[in-house]
Amino acid sequence: MRLLGGLVFTGALLIAGGASAQWATDVKDDLFSDGKTATMIGSAGPNYGIYVSCSSEEADVSFAYIEKSSWESGLEAVPAKLAIQVDGGQKHFLNGYFYQHNNDFIGVKSDQSELIRGILRDIRDAQRQIVVGVRVELFDTTATVDFSVAGSTKATSKLFDSCNLSPEGPES
């Protein structure tokens, strides 16, 4: 049974393999302010991803695990937990909720900005492996996906810069 999924601007990133970067950040002008918006995507093949978004005008940043799957009515009411571990270090936990990312992907998303900043610091400094897990207690289901670190430092640094996020701050 699939748990999740969604990518818009990085279809090529999700399909790309081999030595190419598995992480990318897209920055755009924010039409509603003088700032920027940024989206960072990490790929674990064509079916799984990490999707992070932020704005330079707001202190908020969101983190989502996405998976290629079809949306089912009622999922928006199902709580989920995200667990993220980088290089076998500290385990970070986020409360999440299901959402329809786009027509092809659904996701579990968290808006716990302060905790997410700590996760992003770890992703920026990653040397070997990023592991993301999802637990859905209602379905008694747990899944984990391994992500390459290729390109994660550059992509995360670009996200920090574009959204005026301090790479330092409270630990998660």
Please determine, for residue 10, whether its predicted confidence score (pLDDT) is greater than 80: no
Q: Is residue 171 part of a domain?
A: no
120: DSSP letter: H
Q: Is residue 3 part of a domain?
A: no
CB 41 within 8 A of CB 23: yes
d(CA 162, CA 84): 23
Name the amino acid, one letter, at 115.
L
The count of domains in the chain is 1
Other Cβ atoms within 10 Å of 18 Cβ, number? 5
pTM of the complete model: 0.85
Give the HSE-up count for residue 104: Cα atoms under 13 Å, Cβ half-sphere.
12
Provide the β-strand partners of residue 141. Answer: 136
Q: Is residue 169 part of a domain?
A: no
pLDDT score recorded for residue 6 = 31
Backbone angles phi, psi at 149, to 5 degrees: -95, 0
**Site of tokens 């090529």:** 12
d(CA 125, CA 120): 9
Full residue range of the structural domain in which residue 95 is found: 11-162
pLDDT band for position 169 (50/70/90)? low
Q: Is residue 2 part of a domain?
A: no
For the chain, percent of residues with pLDDT exceeding 70: 84
Per-residue pLDDT tens over the stretch 92-107: 999 999 999 999 999 9
Q: Is residue 140 part of a domain?
A: yes
The whole-number average pLDDT for the span 33-38 is: 89
Q: Pull the structure tokens for residue 102.
A: 């786009």
Q: Is residue 1 part of a domain?
A: no
Q: Is residue 156 part of a domain?
A: yes
Q: Is residue 4 part of a domain?
A: no
d(CA 116, CA 171): 9
pLDDT score recorded for residue 92 = 98
